[in-house]
A and B are shown apart, each in its own frame.
Chain A
Amino acid sequence: MIARYFSSLDPQLDAISVRSNAAGEFLPREVKLPFRYDTIYIGGGTPGLVDAELIARLLDRLTTVFTIEPDAEITIEVNPCTVTADKLRAYRGAGVNRLSMGVQSLSDRLLGILGRAHSAETAKRAAELAVNYFDNINLDFIFGIPGVRELSTAAPQSMREVSDCLRFAVDNDIAHVSFYSLIIEPGTELYRMRERQELIELPDTEERAMYNEIRGFLSDNGYIQYEISNFAKPGLESRHNLKYWSGAPYTGLGLGAVSFLPVNDGSGSFLRFRQSDDLNRGTDPCSIGTGYEIQERLDVQARKREYMMLGFRKLTGPDPEGYRRLFSGASFESDFSTELDSLRNQGLIDAGNHLTAQGLDFANEIFMMFI
């Protein structure tokens, strides 16, 4: 389950408890809402902003309405600026057992380029504090950050600046780290800056060298890379994220949250739908959703393709056993023999369907095979 942007509880939660499909405003009538959850992710960037008390009440409500497994992974996503000892203690007391923090970089100049509000010092202090309350912490980092031509230090991110982040994570015995290769997407300030040729970008070759250094360093320090950008101490992989990559259903509550749920007609189809986040259209920012948009209807064939596509985000590739379970005994080796052969010939995956080093660099090529 994903919960985003909650700042107060909503009567709709009570409606769900009465009858699953009564809450038609946020849930298409044709889908089945699961009542048992073993991961909760309180995300969307800003839950750290609100009073910790509200997070506690939210989890309390969710526990009343749904069955939350006793060993459920319950993550909260926080911003370094909002972290205080009191809040951390309150999260802990409310049942949160995993903390994810967007650090991005430990260099002030790079944080500035990325447009982040926090300083390197703030991020360090927040993480060091968090370690006292949580064993299971994730720190998000970005690499491949460009330089800005007009700044006094115009160079793109250096390997040394990446090492600072790696070192910090290892020294603090952080359970889980993610290193995302910066992709400058349309609509962002960096994109506009690039259009205006204000950026000095890292050449591809250096960016890849950086990636390989990250992988090597983390591996040497006891982390297992289980996904293109994700690294964890053994047994501490994010169970929540693994669900996305293994075709499992999930429920998204709150503004802009996405759900992926089975259709209640025995066809094996799933719907992916997204709660409205258009405040101009009267969406209540505190609601679990006052209108949704169906993004995609996936029949069994489409789900199979998606299973493969997402499965290849994991270094071990899609799981044959999981595929068999989801698709009544089918084998992806036979369902997708052409695609898999082609990927093997291109050197993107190996005989055991694991991503190769080449596959890590050209993951889109693999994904596109299943689009």
Chain B
Amino acid sequence: MADRDKIRNFCIIAHIDHGKSTLADRILEMTGVLTAREMEDQVLDNMDLERERGITIKAQAVRLNYKASDGNEYVYNLIDTPGHVDFNYEVSRTLSACEGAVLVVDASQGIEAQTLANVYLAIDHNLEVVPVINKIDLPAAQPEVVRKEIEDVIGLPADDAPLISAKVGIGIEEVLEQIAQKIPAPQGDETAPLKALVFDSYYDAYRGVIVYVRIVDGSVKRGDTIRFMSTGNEYTVTEVGFFKPGTLLPAAEISAGEVGYIAAAIKDITDATVGDTVTLKDRPAAEPLPGYKAVQPMVFCGIYPVDGADYDALRDALFKLKLNDASLTFEPETSQALGFGFRCGFLGLLHLEIIQERLSREFDLDLLTTTPSVIYYVYLTSGEVITLDNPSNFPDVSTIEHIEEPMVRGTIMTPKEYVGNIMELCTDRRGEFVNMDYLEETRVVLTFNLPLNEVIYDFFDALKSRTRGYASLDYELIGYQPSKLVKLDIMLNGQIVDALSFIVHEEKAYGRARKIAEKLKDVIPRHQFEIPIQACIGGKIIARETVKAYRKDVLAKCYGGDITRKKKLLEKQKEGKKRMRQFGNVEVPQEAFLTVLKLDSDN
């Protein structure tokens, strides 16, 4: 059991690619938890996908020992946070488990929207922020400019911010020293009733759910009966302990100020949700820790196996992912076009993409995804209000009083020369300009209120392409507002393809309909007959294109009995057909479904 004065609970916050995980690696190395040879790069990001994308999806924690220059031995609990807006709530809970944050800023890139968002979040949680300037070894590094930026933009003193290169290992010692000196030790009353904040969890096949907790007050040990305060569910603790890189270290007890885990043979991860407070059944806390909220998915889409025979495999895969991801929701859904699949709910687009990629990568599933949707509130003339997350359930227009859609406050940070482009983009996406602030001479922060359904609709790509990748975006939900929304259907050869339907603002319907029809015309291969592509709202056709019929499909001359070569060509052709979806007698390639997802107005 560590002396509480010598405990430092902290996280590292940074923009993607600014070197958060590399710094974590170096810290692990320096504190001797792992030798360089033992560790795989970026130990904390231990999913393949996380490593590839350079992002953190699930929080990770690790306990380290550090002997500081003051002669004292410190216990460091380093908690790695997810770094993306989709996981803002998770980030906020992680921050609640810490007293300090190491802010990593890239010496060549400076501060980005996400950095700012996370720093403010940290300051809101009363964290001591320790700025660090990374990548000083890069030729484009401007550490002094960035130092000034930290002071001017964030308002943090940065005169003694360590100049480091996590990659080559410069300045890490200084970071470790400042953690000990600047970040306060945890408070808390060991004798008070148990209050433990759940900041993450994962499913372990042998021990059940491993609940990541920060003990705020009291203590917990094996054999205790714990209670989750949001649900009242109770479990007997089978194990408590601390985090070692890649493993768990059982301990007799964990108490106030500590970061550790509790295992209690919990079967379902949704019973240990992030933000909940754990207390003891026999001596419960009077009230839970503040800030708990049930996580609500914001973005929905249908996920279907390309091969109908994979339906069971897809279901099993979703259950497996759900074991470790309480925010993923799914329920069976049937599409006329795509057959049997699942309606899935996600925290945001990145979350959606991650799940999609994990399904195809880890479970080797070939999938089709429908246009993402947000949750609309549909007020019916009958007085009833329905929540709508699937265009297929769009009620008859005559029964609709009005519809409300979710709005977000978007914060965009950009070099000032792109302001015009961003203004244009946001206006085009029905954004309402709120504010513009100069961070410094060359960089500004733009604030817009935007409909979420426009943001999930390839907004990131459009933003990146209009700012040559320089702008960064952060957003938060700010509520609902009435909006003139319609359902746009796409008909192929006279038949509605339900998987291509989506909900769109009336004013944008025509433009988008035209573009989709044009794109579909390019991606749908010619058939033996002519295929009309029509976009319509409630039966009224607003755009039309035609895929002309092709008249021949024959092979070139076969020379000298080399039939194998011909067969290979045919196989390739057939393989291409197999990957298509049959709608009536029209074969539609998977690309067609992506077409409606990615339709940047510039292309």
Residues in chain A within 8 A of chain B (CB atoms): 2, 4, 41, 43-44, 178, 180-183, 185, 204-205, 207-208, 211, 228-229, 244, 250, 252, 256-260, 272, 274, 295-296, 306, 309-310, 358, 360-365, 367-368, 371
Closest to A260 in B: B561
18 inter-chain pairs at a CB distance below 8 angstroms, sorted by A residue, are: A41-B560, A185-B556, A204-B550, A207-B551, A207-B552, A208-B552, A295-B564, A295-B565, A310-B563, A360-B554, A361-B552, A362-B554, A363-B553, A364-B554, A365-B553, A368-B574, A371-B567, A371-B574
A252–B557 touching, CB < 8 Å: no
A43–B560 touching, CB < 8 Å: yes
Q: A368-B574, A371-B571, A371-B574 are in contact. Are A181 and B552 (CB under 8 A)?
A: yes
Count of A-B contacts with CB under 8 A?
Answer: 87
Closest to B556 in A: A183
Most chain B CB atoms below 10 A, which of A44, A310, A368: A368
Q: How far is the CB of A231 from chain B (nearest CB, A)?
A: 14
Residues of chain A contacted by B570 (CB below 8 angstroms): 364, 367-368, 371
Q: How far is the CB of A85 from chain B (nearest CB, A)?
A: 28
Residues of chain B contacted by A183 (CB below 8 angstroms): 554-556
Most chain A CB atoms below 10 A, which of B554, B557, B559, B577: B554
Q: How far is the CB of B568 from chain A (nearest CB, A)?
A: 9
Closest to A180 in B: B557
Q: A368-B574, A368-B577 are in contact. Are A363 and B555 (CB under 8 A)?
A: yes
Q: How far is the CB of B554 from chain A (nearest CB, A)?
A: 5
CA of A257 to CA of B553, assembled, Å: 27
Q: A257-B560, A295-B564 are in contact. Are A205 and B551 (CB under 8 A)?
A: yes
Q: How far is the CB of A295 from chain B (nearest CB, A)?
A: 4
Q: A252-B561, A295-B564, A371-B574 are in contact. Are A208 and B553 (CB under 8 A)?
A: no
Most chain A CB atoms below 10 A, which of B528, B553, B561, B577: B561
Residues of chain A contacted by B528 (CB below 8 angstroms): 358, 362, 365
CA of A193 to CA of B567, assembled, Å: 26
CA of A309 to CA of B568, assembled, Å: 13
Partner of B554, one of A228, A296, A309: A228
A258–B551 touching, CB < 8 Å: no
Q: A181-B552, A181-B554 are in contact. Are A244 and B571 (CB under 8 A)?
A: no
CA of A368 to CA of B554, assembled, Å: 11
CA of A365 to CA of B573, assembled, Å: 10
Partner of B573, one of A4, A272, A309, A364: A364
Residues of chain A contacted by B562 (CB below 8 angstroms): 258, 274, 295
CA of A69 to CA of B9, assembled, Å: 93
Consensus secondary structure, chain A interface? mixed
B574–A362 touching, CB < 8 Å: no
Residues 530-559 of B, flagged 1 when their CB comes within 8 A of A and 0 if not, give: 000000000000000000001111111111
CA of A274 to CA of B562, assembled, Å: 8
Residues of chain B contacted by A229 (CB below 8 angstroms): 557
A362–B552 touching, CB < 8 Å: yes
Residues of chain A contacted by B563 (CB below 8 angstroms): 244, 258, 260, 272, 306, 310
A244–B561 touching, CB < 8 Å: yes
A258–B573 touching, CB < 8 Å: no
Residues of chain A contacted by B561 (CB below 8 angstroms): 2, 244, 250, 252, 258-260
CA of A178 to CA of B564, assembled, Å: 22
Residues of chain B contacted by A257 (CB below 8 angstroms): 560
Most chain A CB atoms below 10 A, which of B550, B553, B567: B567
Additional A-B contact list (18), CB under 8 Å, known A256-B560, A364-B553, A364-B573: A43-B560, A178-B557, A182-B556, A204-B550, A204-B551, A244-B563, A258-B563, A260-B561, A358-B528, A361-B552, A363-B554, A364-B554, A364-B570, A365-B528, A365-B553, A367-B555, A368-B573, A371-B574
Q: How far is the CB of A131 from chain B (nearest CB, A)?
A: 24
Q: How far is the CB of B552 from chain A (nearest CB, A)?
A: 5
Partner of B560, one of A2, A295, A296, A306: A2
